Amino acid sequence: MIIKTLGISTSPRIHGNSDLLLREALSGAESAGAKTEYIHLSDYDIAPCIECNACYSRGDCKIQDDFQQLLKKILDADRLIFATPVFFMTVCAQAKMLIDRSQCLWAYKYVLHKQLFSSERDRRAMVIAVGGSKSKKQFECIRFTMKSYFDVLDINYSTNLFTSKVDDIGEIHKHPTALKEAFRLGNELIAAESPPPQKPINIELF
């Protein structure tokens, strides 16, 4: 079976550091036989959640924009690689808008008590985050936010690649270990045997 792998770059910068690591991770996934697709989130028109709570009765979001198109890609994927820079100790604004719009999935599952999928699927996700700070705490909010997001997506939170003290655009090229780890983890996301890990595999480069 060919494993569909979707990479979402949420960085506002094309060829930013998290973006470059994502591309390496997707190359690693391809080397393991996956069919990959890269998305730069800023190319999509996604409005913020307006907390109208229409999804509590509808099960979907009433705002019509590119969210519906992107959500279909996310739910169709067997593997998801989500890349973000660290802004003020959490995901960037572009990432947060996408995550917040997924409140409709929360309502679908926990208010309307419906299942996203008709049968169980082996879906796994990896998070790539890059921050300029030297603090190890900068990734704590990333973990909590992504855990909640992956829960509503019915996808196993399998892997983290966190890199600190990298800020200037393209600076990740000075850290070949990070690029190699991205490739390796992307490969393992596809090649790893079942069952998925109970807790995310953590690679933290400081």
Going along the chain from its start, the domains and CATH numbers come out as: 4-205 (3.40.50.360)
- Given this model, what pLDDT does residue 140 score? 94
Could you tell me the two tokens for 63?
């705002």
- Whether the pTM exceeds 0.75: the reply is yes
| Cβ density class 10-20: b for 16+ within 10 Å, e for less | bbebeebbbbb
Quick one: DSSP state of residue 43? G
- Given this model, what pLDDT does residue 30 score? 97
- Given this model, what pLDDT does residue 118 score? 87
Q: How far apart are the first and last CA of the chain?
A: 37
- Given this model, what pLDDT does residue 120 score? 87
| 73 to 44, 68, 69: CA distances (angstroms) | 13, 9, 7
* pLDDT tens by residue, the chain, 206 residues: 899 999 999 999 989 999 999 999 999 999 999 999 999 999 999 999 999 999 999 899 999 999 999 999 999 999 999 999 999 999 999 999 999 999 999 999 999 999 999 888 999 999 999 999 988 899 999 999 999 999 999 999 999 999 999 988 989 999 989 999 999 999 999 988 778 888 899 999 98
- Given this model, what pLDDT does residue 170 score? 84
Other C-beta atoms within 10 Å of 75: how many? Answer: 17
- Given this model, what pLDDT does residue 135 score? 86
| 65 to 68, 108, 121, 153: CA distances (angstroms) | 7, 19, 28, 19
- Given this model, what pLDDT does residue 195 score? 83
Q: Which phi-psi region, left, alpha or beta, contains residue 173 (left: φ > 0; alpha: ψ -120 to 50)?
A: alpha
